[in-house]
Chains A and B, each alone.
Chain A
Amino acid sequence: MAAELHVELVAADRNVWSGEATLVVARTTSGDIGVMPGHQPLLGVLESGPVTIRTTDGATVVAAVHGGFISFADNKLSLLAEIAELADEIDVQRAERALERAKSEADAAAERRADVRLRAVTG
Chain B
Amino acid sequence: MGAQLRVYKRRIRAVTATKKITKAMEMIAASRIVKAQRKVAASMPYANELTRAVTAVATGSNTKHALTTEVETPVRAAVLLITSDRGLAGGYSSNAIKQAERLTERLRGEGKEVDTYIVGRKGLAYFGFRERKVAESWTGFTDSPAYADAKRVAEPLIEAIQTETAEGGVDELHIIYTEFVSMMTQSAVDGRMLPLSLDKVAETETSAGGAKGEILPLFDFEPSAEDVLDALLPRYVESRIYNALLQSAASEHAARRRAMKSATDNAGDLIKSLSRLANAARQAEITQEISEIVGGASAMADATAGSDK
Contact = CB atoms under 8 A, between A and B. Distances in A.
Interface stretch (B2-10, B44-52, B185-193): B44-52
B39 interface: yes
B49 A13 contact: no
B231 A71 contact: no
Given A43-B53, A71-B52, A13 B222 contact: no
- Residue with the greatest number of chain B CB neighbours at <10 A, chosen from A10, A14, A70: A10
Contacts of B43: 12-13
Interface residues on B, range: 20 to 34
Interface string A23-55: 000001110010000001111110000000000
B231 A69 contact: yes
B45 A82 contact: no
Interface range, A side: 20 to 34
Contacts, number: 88
Interface of B: 39, 42-43, 45-46, 49-50, 52-53, 56-57, 146-147, 150-151, 216-223, 227-228, 231-232, 235, 238-239, 242
B222 A30 contact: yes
Interface stretch (A72-80, A89-97, A99-107, A110-118): A72-80
Given A42-B219, A43-B219, A45-B227, 17 more contacts: A12-B150, A13-B43, A13-B242, A29-B223, A30-B223, A40-B220, A41-B219, A43-B222, A44-B221, A45-B228, A45-B231, A69-B50, A69-B231, A71-B56, A73-B56, A73-B217, A78-B49
